[in-house]
Amino acid sequence: MKAPGHQEETAVEEAAGIEALPFPESLCHRCTAMRQVATKTSSFLMCTALPVKYPRQPVARCPAFTARGER
């Protein structure tokens, strides 16, 4: 059983996780097509929906955006 307020805590934790990623303001973080690619020194946001695998960041609008949890 989940404690009261669990959803709010999850949203806060998720936001904190996004803050730790590159371009936290990017729309890609809320998209099902985004994959994070990390090397020892860098982290990239890869798109699996567009021909351009590494779109210029931060993405503010995108015709291929699909919100997580809505597919």
Contact between 49 and ligand SF4 by CB under 6 A: the answer reads: yes
Contact between 18 and ligand SF4 by CB under 6 A: the answer reads: no
Supply 70's token pair: 């809505």
Contact between 21 and ligand SF4 by CB under 6 A: the answer reads: no
Count of positions on this chain that bind ligand SF4 (CB under 6 A): 13
- Nearest CA to 71 out of 49, 45, 53 is that of 49
Contact between 33 and ligand SF4 by CB under 6 A: the answer reads: yes
Distances (CA, A) of 8 to 5, 29, 30, 56: 5, 18, 17, 31
Closer to ligand SF4 by Cβ: residue 6 or 48: 48
